Structure 1
């Protein structure tokens, strides 16, 4: 399988980083290669992110050699979001059909995962978040229609957005993983405004549904010492617990967010005033 390693950095280290080093430490690129499956082990609460684009033979994984256990899911759970064409995922012999923006939760103790696209010309894009788990929760498909959608934002500030919760206590429970999809409304470009910190949870962002020429400017860092990352479709940003996270795009986009940490409480955040950003 092969797995990249991403070690990240602390807030006192980003001053010395140029663009390339900042991207190396806080971004994962190239996970959605046709006919391949890829993973990156991040040292942000040990979240693993990955991508798979089946275009020929089905793609499978399940061995634990890269995570130090007998099987991949011996001590882990996972969420897989389909960001592309229709496809299917088989978990230990049970098949789940995933349309665009459906999410599959895979519980601890699963053995083998196999993924395939219905149409190689319009393949599925399977985006994966996996975190350590201490409980056995059954595997479950959460369709787009089953997600709980929250409407947020202000049109005058350009940040109207819908937040769809998939892996969440109010929709489909997990041990520690949270996962969902956010879409800015037509004409709105900002997400996650105003910014905030959640020191007890890290977050990963995967940007998608973008035209090839567009980019999102993702802002990170401490509120008084910010940096930015320029991201395109399929790029993944690792947001440590000490960092703000917000972005604005040059065109329409969406993003998958995945979180893990001490709790699953959305209210466990520390808001940051826009006027305090530097």
Structure 2
């Protein structure tokens, strides 16, 4: 398990590109027949990627985090960003189509993921956060998510945000998770930019051409930085950082959040004129 320690905004002022990427970017999440986890000290979020191709993959040990099981005191969201697959939790199987998300409640012991086809493997993206309450496992199909239409075509930021793990759809302890799609011709996400002091966030960009990139902006509003994001990369956004971006072609992203509350609108907007 890779460990990321985060950074203060004062430290980030002196980061070069390589150090900025190593602190906030998680690349190569999806390797064939492997499970990759990154543990971040930013609100103790664990990000994971698994792409079973020729065989199923099983995980669940908590040895690396000092607990009997990975989810002894945690909950998890698993989003399928690839072909049809299954997630089996302690013997109970759930079938996930592309863009379905599975909520896994605290206390799960053994998780096995598999793809229906090696030619179109599933790509399971995972967010796990500490949990202080028990909620049942639940599969949230794409059609069950709550959509919100945001932005304007004339400002190139028209998009549809779909809430999956959210109090209005599927309750959890502290994890929020969903998927945002840009409308055709729009490139900007998360407008207006904002920070949320009481919650951190992580993005995983997907459905991108290999030749395209998203320019992800982060940092304090008065001193921004940028990261170039490829298909399947994930990026951390601490509470003090803005998080917005523009793509060179079509893209979507999974957003996950945790912190003090689950109030989606608990944000502090930042005027574009204030960004530097």
Instruction: Give the TM-score band, short-chain normalised.
Output: over 0.9
SS of match in other structure, 2:65: coil
Using the TM superposition, give the Cα deviation of residue 123 of structure 1 relative to its aligned residue in structure 2, in angstroms: 0.1
Aligned partner of 1:30 among 24, 28, 31: 28
Does residue 1:146 correspond to 2:144, yes or no?
Answer: yes
In structure 1, how many angstroms separate the alpha carbons of the residues matched to 2:78 and 2:183? 24
CA distance in structure 2 between the aligned counterparts of 1:14 and 1:136, rounded to whole angstroms: 37
Could you list the runs of 4 or more consecutive aligned residues of structure 1 that deviate by over 4 angstroms after TM superposition? none
Measured after TM superposition, the shift of residue 120 of structure 1 is 0.6
| Secondary structure class of the residue paired with 1:230 | strand
Question: TM-score, normalising length from structure 2?
Answer: 0.99
- Measure how far apart 1:86 and its partner are: 0.3
Determine the C-alpha separation between the residues in 2 that align with 1:266 and 1:176.
12
- Give, in angstroms, the shift of residue 56 of structure 1: 1.5
Unaligned runs of at least 5 residues, structure 2: none
- Aligned partner of 2:99 in structure 1 is 101
Question: C-alpha distance in 2, partners of 1:140/1:266?
Answer: 21
RMSD over equivalenced CA pairs, Å: 0.5
Structure 1 stretch displaced more, 64-73 or 159-168: 64-73
What is residue 3 of structure 2 aligned with on the other side? 5
Cα distance in 1 between the residues matched to 2:55 and 2:79: 20
Separation in structure 1 between the aligned mates of residue 34 and residue 227 of structure 2, nearest angstrom: 26
Give the structure 2 partner of residue 136 of structure 1: 134
Task: Tell me what 2:197 maps to.
Answer: 199
Tell me the equivalent position of 1:180. 178
Find the counterpart in structure 2 of residue 55 from structure 1. Answer: 53
Name the count of aligned residue pairs.
Answer: 276
Please give the alpha-carbon distance, in whole angstroms, between the structure 2 residues aligned to 1:34 and 1:210: 18
DSSP-derived class of the 2:185 partner: coil
Q: 1:44 aligns with which of 31, 42, 45?
A: 42
TM-score, with structure 1 as normaliser = 0.99
> CA shift at 1:67, angstroms?
1.2
Determine the C-alpha separation between the residues in 2 that align with 1:94 and 1:244.
39
Q: Deviations over 1:55-107 (max 9, x none)?
A: 12210111110111011111000000000000000001110000000000000
Q: Where in structure 2 are the equivalents of 1:114-129 lying within 5 Å?
A: 114-129=112-127
Partner of 2:250: 252
Provide the rounded CA distance (Å) in 1 between the counterparts of 2:136 and 2:87.
15
Instruction: Give the Cα–Cα distance (whole angstroms) in 1 for the partners of residues 128 and 97 of structure 2.
Output: 21
